[in-house]
Amino acid sequence: MNGAGNDFIAFDRDENPDLVLTAEFIQKICNRYFGVGADGIITVAKAQGTDFAMEYFNADGSTGSLCGNGARCAIRFAREKKKFSASKVKFVCIGENFEGEVISDEIIKFYLQSPTKLQLNFPLNFEGKTINASFIDTGSPHLVIDVAEFGDAALSSFDVAGIGRKLRYHPMFSPGGTNVNFLTIKNTIVHLRTYERGVEAETLACGTGATAVALISHLNSHVNNPVTIIPTSGKQLVVDFIRDGDSISNVSLTGPAEINFAGEIEN
């Protein structure tokens, strides 16, 4: 599956009760040369008190953070697997309850928890220079930087892999590190490229990153809500929320969730 280009391998645990997802197996099947190829793995299963339970694993086998596009794909996949049939859904992931909505066959809305750890416009030392940066946790930690901080480089030609990898391990964000987002705003549309931890590469889209960038762009640059985000894939994501002074709530991420193909693989 893919959510705006952010791609995942999805398993139904109810159909595969003996499925064991070790870090070694995850790394193998997420490998784009020797496996299926994906940014991460999603599992869904029936769960008491909610419509389904979702698990998310990064391509390196790590867990513990939220994946926004993965959640949207999980909603689509769980509905395909008849875990629920209504347009609105409740599910559990990483011990938290979430909600979503099926807008159409391929357009899925996911409601995130309110963001935390917001820091706007702080100085970040990088390779002998000081750049202006912002930070927010939207279920995963995200560093947000306007590409203009690096001179006249265009976002399309920016070294996301090289600079993103260095900033991902910046001492300020140790020991867990951070995702790194580079943006530019054109005619109120926010264009985004993300270096994603756990994948350890640029991804074609990042849901929690798009949400982070939308909120930062609204707070720093007064981009009107809802915010339209165009990630590397060129697919459109829309972030909506309610702002009441310094409080941000009812945050949602809407965009495409598509099934690429179905197949079988031996564990």
- How confident is residue 266, by pLDDT bands cut at 50, 70 and 90? confident
Q: Is the peptide bond before 141 cis (omega within 30 degrees of 0)?
A: no
pLDDT of residue 102: 98
pLDDT of residue 34: 93
CA distance readout (Å), 91 to 7, 75, 88 = 20, 9, 10
In DSSP terms, 143 is beta-bridged to 135, 180
Cβ neighbours of residue 199 closer than 8 Å, sequence gap 6 or more: 39, 40, 58, 59, 60
pLDDT of residue 153: 82
Across residues 97-126, what is the average pLDDT? 97
Across residues 153-170, what is the average pLDDT? 95
Maximum Cα interatomic distance, the chain, rounded to a whole number of Å = 55
CA distance readout (Å), 60 to 35, 40, 54, 106, 173 = 13, 8, 18, 28, 19
Q: How large a percentage of the chain has pLDDT more than 90?
A: 96
Across residues 185-193, what is the average pLDDT? 97
pLDDT of residue 152: 84
- Per-residue pLDDT of 12-55, as tens digits, reads 999 999 999 999 999 999 999 999 999 999 999 999 999 999 99
Return the axis-axis angle of helices 68-80 and 207-221, rounded to nearest 10°.
130
List the catalytic residues. 67, 206
Has residue 267 got a pLDDT over 80? Answer: no
pLDDT of residue 246: 84
